[in-house]
Structure 1
Amino acid sequence: MLSACGQSNSESAKIEEGKVNVITSFYPVYAFTTAIGGEDANVINLLPTGVEPHDWTPKSQDIVNTSKAQLFLYNGAGLEGWVPNFLKSLNNDTQVKSVAVSDGVSLLTAEGDDGHNHGEEHEDEHAEEAGTEDVADHHVDPHTWVSPKSAIVMAENIKNSLVEVDPDHQDGYEQRYEELRTKLEALDQRFTDELSKVSNKEIVVSHQAFGYLARDYGLTQHAIMGLSPDAEPTGQDIVNLSKLVKEEGIKYIFFEELVSDKLAKTLAGEAGVETMVLNPVEGLTKEQAANGDDYFTLMEKNLQNLLIALK
């Protein structure tokens, strides 16, 4: 599965005539799509390696490519606030079918009153995506792919979308989807088995990206920041979390690679504990891409780190 290692990027990628062209919004969707698409699909990922998806907006070349493609696959659930305007800006004669691959995942709402101001613009884009009225109180948590259980749903949506736009290659898509699903189910089983054995169930994370993982495997996440990784916590937030860390006997505070670890380190210093990486697998760093890391190796590492922190 070499294709999943090189994260082909929209700047260099070309639409291929005579092949089904699929544009994906960011790494997890790209990884699952290349795995299922195999040699039958030309998959172009919009987000460059090492970029945080919350901070990114499309370029004109992305609009050109997507207008010519057969399929545009994005996460949905409010992750990509740029999607509604992006779709409006595509060429009038575009035939592209766009699919939010998180459809069918039972979505979590993160309470807006968690003491974090998620920023006004963030609320608007969630409102536009989710069509909700009371967005000030509820934010849909978009980080669906971080749980292998949700990833299985997403993979099936990707497979169905490929079959729909390219029925001639259905057999290949079905076969590769079965292989991917088997791997995801094995990963899900490992998370279930290993995390059911730990006595400690509380995790403290820098960014509220692990809600689905926590829900599906019986953990409770406490986030230093809210859903948007750049929201600043108040001094009071730090004090409250620091108290929780001491009361619960928490030994590690998790941070993620694509976002600054400053806050996690501050809190860890306050509370006298260590920091460790928990990766929301939103993208690969350049090093990870060079090492041949992928969704599975990063999730495996997450499981190992959770087991260290929770024992």
Structure 2
Amino acid sequence: AHEEDEHGHEEDAHAHEEDEHGHSHGQYDPHVWLDPMNAVSMAEAVEASFADQAPDYKDEFADRLSAFKEEAETLDAELQAAVDAGSKQQLLVTHAAYGYLAERYGFEQLPIAGLTPSEEPSQQALKRVIEEARAHDLTHIAFEDTVTPKVAEVVKNEIGAEAVTIYNLESVTKEQLEQSYFDLMRENVKALEIALK
């Protein structure tokens, strides 16, 4: 068991190392819902379960799923258009939570930290991120609204970047509970439009 644990930790470290280069690793990154088509798959599973448990409301569940799918397809097109309209191919982010978004829409995430924002990068890794951000002339850094890592502030100040807000929807504030998945994802559309311009 001890060997398996060590092996698992080594795999995680390897995933984080590769994520520094923008590659996404679905088996490690939990933020699957940032791809709207993954969100549709999740909604389909929920709808099937609800219909099984409450068959009298089966038609209502099906109608809601259909509406969700339609809006997800619209969001999908908006996200793709935001990326396609930009001149930059890299998104500078505080940590590697956006692999699914990057993979679907064809850009590269440049994360300062690994999958968890509290993960402090080494001095060498930090230097590499700053150099790469300068090389790609990145002028914005995407911060989450609930977390502001100090090391990300260092990068922001070092390269003179402006901040934009991005949501990974892992956690939300009390006020955001009144907003839908689509409301917050459309804020991400705006963030991509600005940061990739």
**Which range, TM-score by smaller chain?**
0.7 to 0.9
1:225 deviates by 1.1
Give the aligned length.
181
Q: Aligned AA for 1:146?
A: L
Residues 279, 302 of structure 1: 8 Å contact kept: yes
Moved over 4 A (4+): none
TM-score by length of 2: 0.83
Q: Are positions 1:239 and 2:127 aligned together?
A: yes
Decide whether aligned partners of structure 1 residues 143 and 156 sit closer, same or farther in structure 2, where only a CA change above 3 A counts. Answer: same
SS at match of 1:221: strand
1:294 deviates by 2.2
TM-score by length of 1: 0.54
Q: Which moved more, 1:188-197 or 1:169-178?
A: 188-197
Q: Are positions 1:114 and 2:2 aligned together?
A: no
- Aligned counterpart, 1:152: 40
CA–CA separation in structure 2 for the residues paired with 1:167 and 1:229: 43
CA–CA separation in structure 2 for the residues paired with 1:269 and 1:255: 13
Residues 149, 216 of structure 1: 8 Å contact kept: no
CA–CA separation in structure 2 for the residues paired with 1:160 and 1:178: 13
1:203 deviates by 0.5
Q: Are positions 1:256 and 2:144 aligned together?
A: yes
> CA offsets per residue over residues 60-114 of structure 1, 9 Å max, x none?
xxxxxxxxxxxxxxxxxxxxxxxxxxxxxxxxxxxxxxxxxxxxxxxxx994251
The structure with the largest alpha-carbon Rg is 1
Q: Are positions 1:193 and 2:81 aligned together?
A: yes
1:139 deviates by 5.2
- Aligned counterpart, 1:217: 105
Residues 112, 139 of structure 1: 8 Å contact kept: no
CA–CA separation in structure 1 for the residues paired with 2:16 and 2:95: 16
* Equivalent position to 1:305, from 188, 191, 196: 191
- Aligned counterpart, 1:286: 174
1:212 deviates by 0.6
- Higher helix proportion, which one? 2
CA–CA separation in structure 2 for the residues paired with 1:213 and 1:149: 11
SS at match of 1:140: coil
Q: Aligned AA for 1:114?
A: E
> CA offsets per residue over residues 188-222 of structure 1, 9 Å max, x none?
11112232222211001112111111011111011
Unaligned stretches of 5+ residues in structure 2? 1-11, 20-24
- Aligned counterpart, 1:163: 51
- Aligned counterpart, 1:32: none
Residues 143, 164 of structure 2: 8 Å contact kept: yes
Residue identity (%): 33
After superposition, the CA RMSD in angstroms is: 2.3
Unaligned stretches of 5+ residues in structure 1? 1-108, 117-136
CA–CA separation in structure 1 for the residues paired with 2:71 and 2:27: 31
- Aligned counterpart, 1:45: none
Higher relative contact order (CA 8 A, sep 6+): 2
Decide whether aligned partners of structure 1 residues 194 and 257 sit closer, same or farther in structure 2, where only a CA change above 3 A counts. Answer: closer
